Structure 1
């Protein structure tokens, strides 16, 4: 009965490619063959702290991380935030394409799974969304990614311990200093003592790192000893 229902849903709402949105004829595929070659993960040397691409193996840190000491321990991203991936993430966030998370998380595990296991996190925590904004949108895209990733990697997901306590304006329209002011005191923990010591924060996009820093600082003050992050996309080093 359940299988028949799933087949009917698939027939009525066929899965589409997360990049070009064409119908996927292969039921097991998460992306079409044409777009598979376009979805290229970040390759080559990366910043040891935030995972942004750097010019050479001799360059240990991107310009952002050379200038700033972060509260998070380290982080990684799968794709650069450009072209087809940028359009796909926009659909995921603002047009209810939650099914794209299947492809996103499969790539997160494939590209960064070994590093996540090295970090050995006790828990995955998604970057929270302000409750009113989440009600308006209907979902938190970071939470969807975190839950899918936790299921694949068998790591618990905690959506309660870190909360966003005030409304902030969209970060994309702000410079670094404005972002820092915008996010100051935006997060808090629901407990004064975080029992789990190694945390993996999950979000969709990383640019200047201000959001991750603010969240990591709050977790660190609550007792976390290591805070790593994993995102789907990152901006270029000058973002």
Structure 2
């Protein structure tokens, strides 16, 4: 659950470059979710992409840290060169659910590398599902067979 401790540690990863917190979450994923993830028979793991402007400013994509960690656990490739954010959007936390969906519409594009593949989409936080929905639409449009969404934390009451 996206409680104060999780919020603070995920923010530390994103904004203070404290990537050691990502290692903690990856170990927790291995302990708690390994069997479920293996059962999905994933072909490819993709992080929710940052817009290139935001990635340049931050220096890395926190979702890619989690995607790579899950990929190592499952022995499945993780790539940040398949799904792209094509539209710069303002931070979603300032928007209500309807505004989030509208903001994310047509914000992503996927290459045909996903055609026929079972894809695991990875992000840090799931709140309204607007980002996951938009990414999934792009992946399915590019031919992904199945798309599952895995987030480190889920917001509640939003």
TM superposition score category, shorter chain reference? over 0.9
- For 1:194 and 1:146, the matched residues in 2 are separated by 16
Bigger share in helix: 2
- For 1:210 and 1:195, the matched residues in 2 are separated by 23
Tell me the equivalent position of 1:98.
19
Confirm whether residue 147 of structure 1 aligns to residue 68 of structure 2.
yes
Tell me the equivalent position of 2:140.
220
Would you say the 8 A contact 2:119–2:144 is kept in 1? yes
Q: Choose from 108, 127, 141 the match for 1:207.
A: 127
Would you say the 8 A contact 1:122–1:196 is kept in 2? no
Tell me the equivalent position of 1:88.
9
TM-score (norm 1): 0.64
Over alpha carbons, which structure has the higher Rg? 1
Would you say the 8 A contact 2:115–2:145 is kept in 1? no
Between 1 and 2, higher relative CO (CA 8 Å, sep ≥ 6) is seen in 2
- For 2:116 and 2:27, the matched residues in 1 are separated by 25
1:43-122 equivalence runs, <5 A = 80-122=1-43
In the TM superposition, what is the alpha-carbon distance from 1:190 to its structure 2 partner? 3.0
Segments of 5+ residues of structure 1 without an aligned counterpart are 1-79
Secondary structure of the residue aligned to 1:132 is: helix
1:70-117 CA-partner distances (Å, limit 9, x unpaired): xxxxxxxxxx00121111111111111012111111111211111111
Secondary structure of the residue aligned to 2:119 is: strand
Runs of 4+ in 1 over 6 A off after TM superposition: none
Confirm whether residue 235 of structure 1 aligns to residue 155 of structure 2.
yes
Secondary structure of the residue aligned to 1:185 is: coil
Residue 87 and residue 142 in structure 1: after superposition, are their counterparts in 2 closer, same or farther (change >3 A)?
same
Aligned-CA RMSD value: 1.2
Equivalent residue pairs, number? 158
In the TM superposition, what is the alpha-carbon distance from 1:195 to its structure 2 partner? 3.0
Would you say the 8 A contact 2:111–2:142 is kept in 1? no
